[in-house]
Structure 1
Amino acid sequence: MFRHALPLALPLSLSLLLMACGNGEPVQQAVRPAMVVQPLPAADAVDTFPGEVRARYEPELAFRIGGKVAKRLVEVGERVKKDQPLAELDPQDVRLQLEATRAQVAAAQANLKLVRAERDRYRTLLDRKLISESQYDNVENQYRAGEARLKQIKAEFNVASNQAGYTVLRASENGVIASRRAEVGQVVAAGQTVFTLAVEGEREVVISLPELGIDRLKVGQDVAVELWSLPGKRFPARIRELSPAADPQSRTFAARVAFARDKVPAELGQSARVFIRSKGEVPLSVPLSALTAEAGQPYVWVVDPTNSTLKRRPVRVGAYGEDRVPVLEGLSPDDWVVAAGVQVLREGQQVRPVDRANRAVKMVAKE
């Protein structure tokens, strides 16, 4: 019987021995730090849109006549001066037309000289009463027709001469060649765009606005622009132009933002961000990293200032921004919200609140 009781007594004794080694108290988990932030007021909630720096005036340059491109004298990105030649058409056809018109002018001048002499002779005969009035009137009409014909041909010659000059495309202003749409050997029509010129002077930022909330924006509205080359520095600006119709492909509305200052270190083609301040319809906003969801219901973790424990707080949010999300309901400006690692937290968990610099945050309990 003793042999049967020995296997049962051994595990029990070992258990008693292990309990004797400890003090019987549960092991406490270390309080983990949690980075916390307070929701931003509506004055600090802004929408951000990417954009590109462009010139305010961008004329599309084209030949005034059609023809075959014989020379291209500039490249994209090259700075040009006013009246500088940019491209040339094959002038052969225009020169032939000019020579033909010149020959017609010479013929009209010779004909006018002949009918003038004829009229002078008939006038002498008329004075001597050797011809009738009707005969003289006939010669006088021939002279007037020859004179009108010469004026017509001279006008055509001037047109042909101008067209000979139109074979050279020149810059309308000082600026930079922004784009090229024709190559040597290509046949272009009159008015077909060959170059786009970015005129020197004012610079703007072109952005695309979504359909949602376009009615909240208007021409003249104040905004801020940040250049990627100067991070953290924002320049005051305003919406100068807003397209009345959406782009058929992207379904966005084009807008041009003009700088409020004359001297801004913005170069053509630079990337920029335009910040448009909300107008009070978004009371608060939190970082995107502070938001999580369960069963489609978004919520945040709020720290209780009395004991530094976590409470799940359901919220109603608006349209997501680039790094923040507007909170329409569920938070107050005095709340402290966990801004990172929200997926591994649990209800009632005690934390040690810290800021982004890992400094302890002192919370004041609400009265």
Structure 2
Amino acid sequence: MTDTFTHFARHALGHVISSCKLTHCIIACLFCLFCLGLSGCGDKTQKKAALPRPVRNVVAPQFSFSTSFTQTGEIRAHDELTLGFRLDGRLLNRKVDVADQVSRGQLLASLESQASENQLSSARADLLSARVAERMSASNLRRMRMLMPAGAIARVQLDNAMSEWQSAASRLQSSENTLKNAQDTLSWTRLVSPADGVITQVSASVGQVVSAGQTVVTLAESGQRDAVFDLSQAQVAALKDSATFSVSLLSEPAVKTLGILRDVSPQADPQTRTWRARVTLENPPAAMVLGASVQGALPAVGQRTLRLPASALTQADGHPGVFVVNPRSLRLERRRVVVERFSLSDIYILSGVTPGEIVVTAGVSKLRDGERVSLGDRAE
């Protein structure tokens, strides 16, 4: 009985020990599988992180003399005259219209002149009367002077004759001035062209009552022509005295000429906040007629520069820099550059980048020197 119990106890104990070993084996296997799973996830994460970052880029262009700015404008006469009458009146006729060619002294318009003609007639009559009175007083003075030495007249009579003659002479001079004024007034009822040119604007119609100085027509003188541009404050700041512009027709860019800055308006237009600049053209082509649309370019003064998008700019050791992509290794190189000037959309580089190199143009703040990248979209 004792032997049987002992044998049974040994057998049960062995079974328990075997079960424990199996459990430990299972736990160990599960732990290994868990570790392998974590290791596999880490590999995927590393592989995912190791993929090169795509970057937007541009191929650096050649160095060139860039332009400070370009602006559209139109051709105007070098001298434009606003013509009007020098007195009030009703417009009797107008002999010209817009685009008419006129010559110096040609009649452009006239006012009703009946009142001025009446004034002229009255002035002529008054002058005739004054001349007769002056002649009579002068004759009387001569007679008195002849009688005075013989004592035939008193001294007071000679003095009175002298006074009458002086008064008549003054009246004669006044009448002559009145006649001259009446003649001028009559001539002012006629508006004539002061120079050869073309009518660019008509501001009054027949039958309209106009005031003295009111614009009736605008005359563009023949001869020199100007290109007129409306410039922003930044563009005005870039101008220098006697700046030279390249001016070309907007419809036909091959037709071009040079122009010299003539003047810039001292005040900005209250509506557009722009300043008007006039550029005098040198030997303008015949195609640059009055009113033609043109484009003016102001060449930058200085060295040749290489233009890149402003978004490519970063810092290299506290100085301006860009990221250049090595075409073989596709790794980034932070390159220090010398910037000549900036604009809202571009930077102009004097040195640091060679034409043909690949420059990153976006996301430069998130990149690091030596990072491996892939070439993404290429900027225009």
Counterpart position of 1:88 = 110
Do 1:60 and 1:197's aligned partners in 2 also have CA atoms closer than 8 Å? yes
Question: Percent sequence identity over matched residues?
Answer: 31
Q: Which of residues 70, 87, 92 in structure 1 aligns to 2:92?
A: 70
| Residue 203 (structure 1) shift | 1.1
Unmatched runs of 5 consecutive residues or more in structure 1:
1-33, 292-299, 340-346, 357-367
Counterpart position of 1:235 = 257
TM-score (ref. length: structure 2): 0.67
* Aligned mates of 1:55, 1:63 — CA distance in 2: 22
| Residue 118 (structure 1) shift | 3.3
* Aligned mates of 1:73, 1:302 — CA distance in 2: 70
* Aligned mates of 2:331, 2:291 — CA distance in 1: 50
The answer to whether the aligner puts 1:306 opposite 2:328 as a matched pair is yes
**SS of aligned partner of 2:234:** coil
The answer to whether the aligner puts 1:57 opposite 2:79 as a matched pair is yes
Amino acid corresponding to residue 78 of structure 2 in structure 1: R
Alignment RMSD, CA only?
Answer: 3.8
* Aligned mates of 1:78, 1:308 — CA distance in 2: 68
The answer to whether the aligner puts 1:326 opposite 2:346 as a matched pair is yes
* Aligned mates of 2:309, 2:283 — CA distance in 1: 32
* Aligned mates of 1:308, 1:79 — CA distance in 2: 68
Do 2:269 and 2:275's aligned partners in 1 also have CA atoms closer than 8 Å? yes
* Aligned mates of 2:62, 2:271 — CA distance in 1: 36
The answer to whether the aligner puts 1:219 opposite 2:241 as a matched pair is yes
Unmatched runs of 5 consecutive residues or more in structure 2:
1-55, 313-321, 362-371
The answer to whether the aligner puts 1:195 opposite 2:217 as a matched pair is yes
Do 1:310 and 1:349's aligned partners in 2 also have CA atoms closer than 8 Å? no
* Aligned mates of 2:260, 2:354 — CA distance in 1: 29
Counterpart position of 1:3 = none
Amino acid corresponding to residue 69 of structure 2 in structure 1: D
| Residue 194 (structure 1) shift | 1.9
* Aligned mates of 2:149, 2:294 — CA distance in 1: 87
* Aligned mates of 1:262, 1:227 — CA distance in 2: 11
* Aligned mates of 1:68, 1:96 — CA distance in 2: 16
Counterpart position of 1:101 = 123
**SS of aligned partner of 1:212:** helix
Structure-2 change in CA distance of 1:237 and 1:142 (3 Å): same
The answer to whether the aligner puts 1:258 opposite 2:280 as a matched pair is yes
- Structure number with greater Rg is 2
Structure-2 change in CA distance of 1:88 and 1:266 (3 Å): same
The structure where helix makes up a greater share of residues is 2
Counterpart position of 1:168 = 190
* Aligned mates of 2:196, 2:214 — CA distance in 1: 21
1:71-93 Cα offsets, whole Å, 9 max, x none, are: 11100111111111111011011
TM-score (ref. length: structure 1): 0.70
Structure-2 change in CA distance of 1:262 and 1:50 (3 Å): closer
| Residue 224 (structure 1) shift | 0.7
**SS of aligned partner of 2:65:** helix
1:183-235 Cα offsets, whole Å, 9 max, x none, are: 22233233332222111111110011111252321221122111123224442
Do 2:256 and 2:285's aligned partners in 1 also have CA atoms closer than 8 Å? no
